[in-house]
Chains A and B, each alone.
Chain A
Amino acid sequence: MAVTLTDSILKDLHLRMVRIRRFEETAGKMMESGKIPGALHLYVGEEAVASGVMAHLSNDDQITSTHRGHGHLIAKGGEFSPMMAELFGKATGYCKGKGGSMHISNMKLGMLGANGIVGGGPPIAMGAAFSNKFRKTKNVACCFFGDGASNEGSFHEAANMAGLYKLPVIFVCENNGYGEYTPQRNHQAIVDVADRAAGYGMPGVIVDGMDVVAVFEAAGEAIARARAGEGPTLLECKTYRFYDHVGVRGMGLTYRTDDELEEWKKKDPIDLFEGRLKEQGILSEAEIQAVHAAVAADIEKAIAFAESSPFPDPSAIEQDVYA
């Protein structure tokens, strides 16, 4: 699908990425300061993937996410305040404080949840796509998963059924080179997860996951195919996690080298894209700074909202178990 890259699309892609980056950096600080309990898996470095895909989706299109899910929800239209409140464990959070980082979700936005189980998302996304087809809509489901999840049986069962039923689903593999702390070469015998598409009768496409425009264009084609009833696609986005599997450390990790991180940081998706926007005269440096400042102000408001919100009452524990 040849979507013309208008200025407004480019600015939209930029804003989505900046919103994710700023939110994640702040959330990391909040976790370090003890305001956010539990485990945070941050999306810093991978922003181009969520942003490039989500720019094609409406609220009636669904996504399933991963344990690294904040970026997906932000790109899908999630608001900072209920997100931050959820991470704080507050009653005003998107999940009333019952889900937290690993289960953050918003059904109205078609965001069927971050997922604490690696490989939890693919069967659910396949089911949502089945529903779209069954209900005769033109909606699609996008399933975000990692190179690690591509080794789970759930991925293979879901991919097979999606291919079999020609479902409107896009399996978006965020191949960041690591399944938790294990490098890809030590967890699978292939380099390109996209190779696995052939086994399920769907195209496998590889794209530079640090280039938001490349992701946007490739995702656009896959989503157009799905909407046209031509079935699923496996879209592999080569990307990198700037932080650790959990938390905010980037440097000095035992399972990867600082040099490797530095090499990938040269491909920072936001830096690269901002350079391009300036070069093409779409945004000036001052305008870019204004975008960052506006996002930062929104995040400050979200922190204030989260901090001033009440914790859930203990009486809420046994609520929402059943309809």
Chain B
Amino acid sequence: MAEAVATKARTLTYVAAINEAVRTVLKEQPNAFAAGEDIGGAGGVYGYFHGLQAEFGADRVYDTPISEKGIIGLGVGAGATGCRPILDLMFMDFMGECMDEIANQLAKMRYMFGGAANLPVTVLTMAGAGASLAAQHSQSLEAWVCHLPGVKICMPCTPYDAKGLIISAARDDNPVFVVLNKMSLAMKGEVPEETYAIPLSKANIVRPGSNYTIVAWGRMVHEAVAAANKLKDLGVDAEVIDPRTLQPFDTATVVQSVKKTHRAMIVHEAVRFGGFGGEIASQIQELAFDYLDAPIGRVGAPFSPVPFSPALEKHYVPNADAIVAGVKAQLGI
């Protein structure tokens, strides 16, 4: 299902782009290996490791037990001693099983050791609601990771970004979380065959605009673009910025945009209350207060666990209509 087959226009699915990125890393880095649940023989529950064990061997692509503490700990110990592990944490929700290894070991070892340890560990993990997987397999928990000094985190929203950001993550000498979105797996997009890296520090202006700024990440980038297209008829020409990487965050690009547009909305799929959008809103008001013509808006999920029923879930996950409604309410139009 996930085999990276190039079409004429060299269009790949998101899942095939992930696969190609991991293949690229395993080829270019002899000390890289991949480890995770079901990734070897089965190719991963979402298929993005398809064929990699057959290609690289069972001593490069490892099936692990269902042991998330063990998987992250494996990465810490191996990463600190000369390997470059690519770990698969099947669902981001499973961070609860290994938060000590993430927060107290992986994130802090370098600092606690006075800079003496490098931890070149890449963690691929799957977030996102919309598939009726309910409360424990649908969350967007990027704020948990953003709050941990020592870890980087990016959230690719297209096949192109998935390949380029995974390659950057794996080349980085720090722990990097690559948060993928399960509702984007079948999404198609152009992906160059050659190897390329997208820097883990630079936002992407997905849609230029003149009088409004929407900052969105993960799958919400596409909803934000759809919202921007709808808002055009209302006289709102929205610039959509995808930070791509949340830590480090490209504050400069966002602030520069807001200084031009004077109004801003932050959109994320995660629960709105206490979400990372609050941090971005705060940074904007600290750095561009005098430029603002309206309070900074935020769109996010309600303050509840992700519900199971499609009838509830479709109202739970933010979409273009919710963004449009938020902008209209904010601007009184």
Contact = CB atoms under 8 A, between A and B. Distances in A.
A160 B65 contact: yes
A132 B81 contact: yes
Given A135-B83, A161-B70, A112 B110 contact: no
B111 interface: yes
A323 B77 contact: no
Contacts of B77: 62, 64, 112, 123-131, 141
B100 A117 contact: yes
A113 B113 contact: yes
B73 A123 contact: yes
Contacts of B105: 115, 117, 120, 123-124
Contact of B76 (A96, A116, A123): A123
A112 B15 CA distance: 36
Interface in A153-173: 153-154, 157-158, 160-161, 164-165
Interface string B51-82: 00000000100101101111011111111111
A18 interface: no
B67 A161 contact: yes
B213 interface: no
Contact of A127 (B59, B79, B100, B114): B79
B146 interface: no
Interface string B134-170: 0000000000000001101000000000000000000
Contacts of A74: none
A68 B120 CA distance: 28
B311 interface: no
B117 interface: yes
B9 interface: no
Contact of B81 (A99, A128, A322): A128
A317 to B, nearest CB: 10
Contacts of A153: 69
A165 B77 CA distance: 15
A126 B74 contact: yes
B82 A164 contact: no
Which of B59, B104, B105, B120 has most chain A Cβ within 10 Å? Answer: B105
Contacts of B150: 321-322
B31 interface: yes
B70 A135 contact: no
Nearest to A94: B114
Contact of A131 (B69, B78, B101, B114): B78
A255 interface: no
A interface, how many residues as a size bin? 35 or more
B235 interface: no
Interface string A101-124: 001011110001101110110111
A320 interface: yes
Interface in A76-103: 93-99, 103
Contacts of B319: none
A103 to B, nearest CB: 4
B112 A113 contact: yes
Interface string A286-322: 0000000000000000000000000000000001111
B118 interface: yes
Contacts of B111: 98, 320-321
A160 B73 CA distance: 13
A119 B100 CA distance: 10
Nearest to B72: A123
Contacts of B174: 322-323
Contact of A158 (B73, B81, B116): B73
B8 to A, nearest CB: 39
B33 interface: yes
Nearest to A164: B65
B81 A62 contact: yes
B78 A134 contact: yes
A320 B110 contact: yes
Interface in B84-115: 85, 100-101, 104-105, 109-115
A122 B116 contact: no
Contacts of A107: 80, 113, 116-117
A50 B101 CA distance: 25
Which of B64, B70, B77 has most chain A Cβ within 10 Å? Answer: B77
Interface in B271-325: none
B31 A135 contact: yes
Contact of A322 (B65, B100, B110, B116): B110
Given A157-B65, A158-B70, A164-B65, A127 B76 contact: yes
A120 B102 CA distance: 11
Contacts of A64: 77
Nearest to B68: A157
B190 interface: no
Contacts of B109: 113
A69 to B, nearest CB: 12
Interface of B: 31, 33, 59, 62, 64-65, 67-70, 72-83, 85, 100-101, 104-105, 109-120, 149-150, 152, 172-174
The 4 closest A-B pairs by CB, nearest first: A123-B73, A127-B77, A320-B115, A96-B114
Given A98-B112, A107-B113, A323-B110, 6 more contacts: A117-B104, A124-B77, A128-B80, A129-B77, A160-B65, A323-B173
14 contacts: A94-B114, A106-B116, A113-B109, A123-B72, A123-B73, A123-B105, A124-B105, A130-B77, A134-B33, A153-B69, A154-B70, A161-B70, A319-B115, A322-B152
